[in-house]
Amino acid sequence: MSPQQFFFIITAVVILVSALMTVITRKMMHSALWFVLALLGVAVIFALLEASFFAVVQVLVYVGAIAILIIFSVMLTRKAMEDTGSQVNKTWVISLLIVNLTAIGGFLAFRSWEVLGTFPTALMAEHYDIGELGMALIDPERFALPFEVTSILLLAALVGAIYIAFQRKEGKK
């Protein structure tokens, strides 16, 4: 086993454990922090695959922006989101069965897919042009609209969290 494969396996285990902890942790702040760890693990996977641009984008955009926005939202609305009810899904057996059947079906479908058995070829220089990707993000005919819609959605989420926090504060006075 090569060192790269070893680090890949360790990183994959960290991502899976942190993703699981994101879902099963009872406190929202702890869940958000586990989510940040999972996003950082994905950045490490990108770095191991020698996709340095995507690793940097993963850290800057997801960890640096979206995860911090989630943490601020949780901090602003934590009193509004308190739940004293049960945190356990009563139909967890059915959910577990559906997840397992879906995973087995996906595994069998991908196992029969011949493309996965071939070795990847190296990217040609024209497919690895970061400048072309940058231009695609700001080109109105390509990805500018989804990029701007995402920023507006994140802004709306933050404004909503601030509104909920101020409503709770006014209710206490």
Residue-wise pLDDT tens digits, 84-93:
666 666 787 8
Query: Is residue 74 a contact partner of residue 32, using CB atoms and an 8 Å limit?
Result: yes
86 alpha carbon, distance to own chain's centre: 26
Dihedral angle, C-alpha 146, 150, 151, 155, nearest 10 °: 150
pTM (2 d.p.)? 0.56
pLDDT band, residue 135 (cuts 50/70/90):
confident
Mean pLDDT on 86-110: 83
Which range of 15-24, 26-35, 125-134, 137-146 scores highest in mean pLDDT? It is: 15-24
**Confidence (pLDDT) at 13:** 94
How many structural domains are present in the chain? 1
CATH number (domain holding residue 144): 1.20.120.1200
pLDDT averaged over every residue in the chain: 78
Query: Is residue 156 a contact partner of residue 149, using CB atoms and an 8 Å limit?
Result: no
Closest CA to 164 of 82, 80, 84: 80
Q: What percent of the chain has pLDDT over 90?
A: 16
Q: How far apart are CA 161 and CA 83, in angstroms?
A: 17
**Confidence (pLDDT) at 11:** 94
Q: Domain span at residue 96?
A: 3-172
**Confidence (pLDDT) at 20:** 92
20/55: higher pLDDT: 20
161 pLDDT above the threshold of 80 = no
